[in-house]
Amino acid sequence: MSQVVEVSLRLPARSQIKSAAFPYGVADIRFKKQIELETLPKPGDIFPMSAASLTFPCKVIRNWDEGKNMFVLACEYGGSSRISNDDYSTILEAPDWTAKPLLS
């Protein structure tokens, strides 16, 4: 049985990337998207995500949010700090992801 979950993605910091939407960087921004999954990944698992035509690895850090009473997959980009400038820009500008500041 599939389940709708929210993915909360943290991107690696990239000082050389400039974006009008995020002039101070994305260290305090999480990119959110709701998806439907057949199997819920566990912390440490890596699963594929997409932004526009880009498919990238997403590593689960934790997977439950008491406040929302639903599964929220807190993820890192591929579990590493390496991301190309093109991939970074694609995720920043993807219409299917919503940027949310941590302090809001």
Q: What is the pLDDT of residue 79?
A: 60
Taking only the tens place, the pLDDT of each residue in 92-104 is 889 999 988 876 5
Taking only the tens place, the pLDDT of each residue in 30-52 is 899 999 999 888 999 999 999 99
Pairing of strands 3-10, 72-77: parallel
CA atoms in the 13 A half-sphere facing the CB of 90: 14
Pairing of strands 98-101, 29-37: antiparallel
User: Which residues, at least 6 apart from 35, have a Cβ–Cβ distance to it below 8 Å?
Assistant: 4, 5, 7, 49
Pick the more confident residue, 75 or 81: 75
Supply 15's token pair.
């000082």
